[in-house]
Amino acid sequence: MKISLNWLREYVAFDGDAEALAEILTMTGVEVEKIERRGSDIEHVVVAQILESTKHPKADRLSVCKVADGTGEPRQIVCGAKNYKVGDMVPLALPGAVLPGDFKIKVGRLRDVESQGMLCSAEELGLPKGEDGLLILPPGSEVGAPLGSIFPSDAILDLEITPNRSDLLSHIGVAREVAALTGLEFTAKRVRNAELNSAHPVEIAADECPFYSVRKITGVAVGPSPAWLRQKLETVGIRSINNIVDITNFVMLEMGQPLHAFDAYKVEGDLWVRPASAGEKFLALDGKTYELNSTHLVIADTARVAAIAGVMGGEGAGVTEKTTSVWIESAYFQPTSIRRTSRGLGLLSDSSYRFERDVDPAGVLIASQRATELIAEIAGGAPGELRIGFGAKSQFGFDAEGAAEGIEYTGSVPLRRERCARLLGVEISDDEISAILTGFGLRQSETGWEIPSFRPDLVREVDLIEEIARVIGIEQVPERRTARFAPASDADREYDRLMDLRRRLAGFGLHEARTLSLISERGLKYHLGPSAVQRLRNPLSEDHAVLRPSLLPGLMDALARNGRAGERAVRLFEIGRIFASEGVEESLSLALVLSGPVAPPSWRSGALRNVDLFDLKGLLAALFGANVHFADAQSGGVAYMASVAIEGGIAGRAGQLWPNETKLLDLSAPAVFAEIGLSAWLRCSDAGGQYREIPRFPPVTRDIAMIVAAGTMHSQIDTILSGANEPLLATFDLFDVFTDPSGEKMPAGKKSLAYSLTYRSPERTLTADEVNAAHARVKERLTSALQVQLRE
Amino acid sequence: METQIEEIRIGALAEIEAASDEAAVEAARVKYLGRSGTLSAISEGMRALSKEEKPRIGKLLNEARNAIASALDGRKSELAAASEARAFADLDISLPGIPAWRGSLHPITQIQERAIGILRRMGFSLADGPDIETEWHNFDALNTPADHPARNEQDTFYLPDGRLLRSQTSPVQIRTMTSFPPPIRIIAPGSCYRRDEIDATHLSQFTQMEGLCVDERVNLGDLKGTLDLFVRELFGAEVKMRWRPHFFPFTEPSFELDILVASGGKSRWLEMAGCGMVDPAVFDAVNKQRGDAAYDPERVTGFAFGFGLDRLAMNMAAAPDIRLFIESDQRFLSQF
């Protein structure tokens, strides 16, 4: 909300500058988003009138002017502008003036002609840029008067008011707060016409309007507002419309109570408050037609809707220059009703903004009175009686004593000094508490502190303690540093293990990605698992509508982005939550994508091969420190896919994108990927390694090369060698796979596999005979179990 | 014969000394020590010597043989060393190193790790909660009025069953307190979601860190001491801070903690954390759910705080656009 410093000073004698005020407000809970400067009040800048203008004898573009500056002596000024005529009023910077940008004005000579000052443009005076050339002032301006009398300087503070402080949505409200915080006197007076009797109550057919008042003023002259009023509104960014509408806006900005003016001749019969009918159409003042329903509250006459209650008036009953008689509405609406209507229709206004945050019930009639007096003063007219109405369940009442004083109290809240000290950690004396709370308009009673009606946020003891904390500031609170041993929680253990996994992956040269949990429907094509997905009811866009059932859609996006960026090697991983609609709803998952050369290219590497599924498999084995099995290979929609099983019951999927998919992602090399569920891994013991004896005797290696049918799998050989029951056979490794499609070196339906077998005894150095015997037995098992042809 | 041996020895040593490569050394070995070499021929001729002469000449012959053999070995290793030295002399030591893969942890992971490290040293343990939350945990129990704008479909993501994606990590406070009695000292990092259009400074998903401490006799001074220390550990002891009173439904009094950061030669206040003393209404909601009075607001008090890791990472890295953190561009990620 925008607050004018000059306007504020009418209610509190704050003589600091805008920065000082901003500091006070910021440090007591009202954030100041920005400070704007208005007006121009520079010393030695005065109104001047141009008496004559002749061409400069030596410069085509310059003129020599004679101007009146109020001293009686004409002054000679050289000027470059063209937009003026003799007789115009213009700003004149006299020698000694300092314009924005530290531009000092002196008597000088321009091409041999003396210039005794400078005629100024708006921009040169720090005013908003207008037409090119000099700033032409209103014709009636007083020659010699300081420019500040026409453009008084002001500062506009844009405040961010928290939702609990509806009382700060007006100049008087902010002034009251400033007075309480600084101890300065609060000079705004609240006056209410105590005449409430009405022979004709307003009919209210909706509980959401506890109180409604309207007053007819006849014989008004609608026209432009006086300068002071126009200027006040414009300075805080409200467009001046006409004197009646401007007065209602002024009172709202002054007191926080939104008002509305209807053209009395356009209202048929009496105004009343009712819910809208379903499908009822309404043309609002913003020029748009809204379709209403029964949850919307309206002000209507006997024929039609005149306003959406508390939100916006209609074109139909709006005040125009032809209006001669008006109804001035001042009411109280339930905040929830206004919020519902405003959000439902997507229609926000200064009025709805205040009503939905709650207005001061006791301020309703005070605002009505204020507007009535201003209208009588500015637009003339005769105020009629004040008609009021109460909603059926309304608890509204006006207390006669309050009417005179202008403050009503809504309830009493007890406050214990020791409770305050216990929560804040600092002792506050009764006197100090009393000074603070009284400053905010509270009144001490037998039972506690009575709360003024404009502070609906103060309901509990802790609310009062907060007010005290706000004023004393946290600087006064002594800081305490207390810590206690915190045993590791399940979340601690999980976090540590995941960090360990992340570091290992970074150690393998992968970059950690963090993609969004919300993905597009489109992205589901990379979701290769079976579970059904969860969708949002109110997504912001199609790109973020589905809760990811897999990390792969996000990583594939990342893969494509890096591909487009020309990255030859893409190596990414992510650890994050995935979502399912059945079974475990949220679980942790690890995904990796790899594409490009196996090693960083260098001057020595020559042509590098690209990563494939076996690099991925090896990476997973090293990562988890366990054997990894790929199985059940199948061709899916986007990739060649296999299931992944890792010792410890860890499972997942791995695959390689089809070439057309790779191309779609703008990648220059094949891409392999895996996604591993981490729940099982997190359940595995993290006890750390266990010692196994380190071999003391040297190993002996023997190789076996064999030719097998092309369809024979390594896993078959693996099973035979693992199950060989040969105690001396310690390990075996596949070291060569050879096929020859040409059939020259080997028949086409065959392949050659070569294994290196390591024999070792924990007790002694093996003899050649022992090893040869064991090796012969292993070969025998192979040949008898499989159709293998050993190559010697 | 003696003269003959001496001549051979001198000739051989000179020839070996002059050998300029391994082949020449090998040729000398064959010539002098080989089966049909000159020393072998003399050795043959020893048969003709007398018994008295034999040992003397034999000794001379052995000495000559050893001297030549040792000269051969010496020359051979001299030549090998020279050849190795020549190889290194030709090495272009300015050639670039062979790169190794270098991976990275995401900058948000890194800042989160630092923050967790500091808070753990102050005796906080981690706690966790789901991303998909109930409205009760995310709003009701946190003293958020039924018609609060944040509950709006425009501000919060909802699932068809009425649950929502948590808009803050604060529901972890509720989950922890409903499961465990006081005292509580927890921190909870995690993803939160708000229905904001994604732009240079906003994401619809962000990472928050929540903190909660509940015990008897916890006061505002404990909150101040904890966050003051935390911020100084993170940004250095000299960091400038300010505490602004603020409003949150679930704490009272509430504050926002700003730190002074330098950017582009100017300094400005950066919103660092929201915090406050736990509102008694939150304890009431927890007690009601627990069915006991473990969190009697007259007996226990607490403080809570929360801060966004994305904004923090963005500021610490001086990154111009928050979207960089979700785009997974390796040219960005590899900078951290």
User: Which residues does chain B have with pLDDT short of 50?
Assistant: none
Chain A residues with CB under 8 Å of B131 CB are: 517, 577, 579, 586
User: Which residues does chain A have with pLDDT short of 70?
Assistant: 192-199, 398-406, 530-531
User: Is the whole-model pTM more than 0.80?
Assistant: yes
How distant is the Cα of A15 from the closest Cα of chain B, in angstroms?
A: 23
How distant is the Cα of A446 from the closest Cα of chain B, in angstroms?
A: 23
Strand partners, A191: none
Given A26, A510, A518, which is nearest B103 (Cβ)?
A: A510
CA distance A679 to A674: 16
Chain B residues with CB under 8 Å of A494 CB are: 126, 128
CA dihedral B257, B263, B267, B272 (to 10 degrees): 0
Give the residue on B whose Cα is nearest the Cα of A472. Answer: B245
Give the residue on A whose Cα is nearest the Cα of B303. Answer: A423
Is residue A345 helix, strand or coil?
helix
CA distance B248 to A33: 18
Strand partners, B184: B214
One DSSP character per residue, A442-488 reads -EE-SSSEEEETT-TT--SHHHHHHHHHHHH-GGGSPP-------PP
The residue of B112, B126, B271 whose CB has the most chain A CBs within 10 angstroms, and thus the best one to mutate to test that interface, is B126
Chain B residues with CB under 8 Å of A602 CB are: 96, 98-99
Chain B residues with CB under 8 Å of A503 CB are: 105
A404 touches B at CB < 8 Å:
no
Interface size A-B, in CB pairs within 8 Å, comes to 243
Q: In what side-by-side order are the strands of the sheet with A789-791? A: A729-738, A750-759, A700-709, A789-791
**CA separation, residue A186 to residues A10, A455, B35, B221 (Å):** 9, 17, 125, 33
Asked if the Cβ–Cβ distance from A534 to B132 is below 8 Å, we say yes
Phi-psi domain of A498 (left: phi exceeds 0; alpha: psi -120 through 50; beta: other): alpha
Chain B residues with CB under 8 Å of A166 CB are: none
CA distance A523 to A560: 12
CA distance A206 to A297: 8
Evaluate the CA torsion angle A568, A573, A574, A579 in order and state its sign: positive
Asked if the Cβ–Cβ distance from B242 to A27 is below 8 Å, we say yes
- Those of residues 576-595 in A touching chain B at CB distance below 8 A are 577, 579, 585-586
A506 touches B at CB < 8 Å:
yes
Q: Any residues with CB less than 8 A from the CB of A340 and at least 6 apart, and which?
A: A295, B147
Closest CA to A396 of A458, A453, A335: A453
> Are A415 and A442 in contact, with CB atoms under 8 Å apart?
no
**CA separation, residue A753 to residues A670, A704, A782, A786 (Å):** 26, 8, 12, 13
Q: In one letter, which amino acid is A22?
A: A
Phi-psi domain of A294 (left: phi exceeds 0; alpha: psi -120 through 50; beta: other): alpha
Q: What pLDDT shows up at residue A124? A: 87
> Are A482 and B225 in contact, with CB atoms under 8 Å apart?
yes
Chain B residues with CB under 8 Å of A539 CB are: 157
Asked if the Cβ–Cβ distance from B252 to A425 is below 8 Å, we say no
Q: Per the structure block, which two tokens stand in for A564?
A: 């487009």
How distant is the Cα of A215 from the closest Cα of chain B, in angstroms?
A: 32
> Are A256 and A354 in contact, with CB atoms under 8 Å apart?
yes
Asked if the Cβ–Cβ distance from A27 to B331 is below 8 Å, we say no
> Are A672 and A654 in contact, with CB atoms under 8 Å apart?
yes
How distant is the Cα of A681 from the closest Cα of chain B, in angstroms?
A: 18
Task: Give the DSSP H or E segment for A533.
Answer: none
Q: In one letter, which amino acid is B97?
A: G
Chain B residues with CB under 8 Å of A490 CB are: 128
Count other Cβ atoms within 10 Å, centred on residue A482. 15
One DSSP character per residue, A710-777 reads TT--HHHHHHHHHTS--TTEEEEEEEEEE--TTSSSS-TTEEEEEEEEEE--SSSPPPHHHHHHHHHH
Q: What pLDDT shows up at residue A405? A: 62
Closest CA to A555 of A715, A732, A711, A673: A673
> Are A4 and A229 in contact, with CB atoms under 8 Å apart?
no
Asked if the Cβ–Cβ distance from A422 to B217 is below 8 Å, we say yes
Q: What is the CA radius of gyration of chain A?
A: 42
Given B244, B252, B333, which is nearest A27 (Cβ)?
A: B244
Question: Strand A118-119 vs strand A89-93: parallel, antiparallel, or unpaired?
Answer: antiparallel
Count other Cβ atoms within 10 Å, centred on residue A392. 10
Instruction: Give Cα A69 distance to the centre of its chain.
Output: 53
How distant is the Cα of A299 from the closest Cα of chain B, in angstroms?
A: 23
CA distance A556 to A546: 16
Closest CA to A121 of A37, A40, A57: A40
Given B106, B226, B301, which is nearest A514 (Cβ)?
A: B106
Closest CA to A720 of A734, A710, A701, A702: A734
A418 touches B at CB < 8 Å:
no
Give the residue on A whose Cα is nearest the Cα of B244. Answer: A27
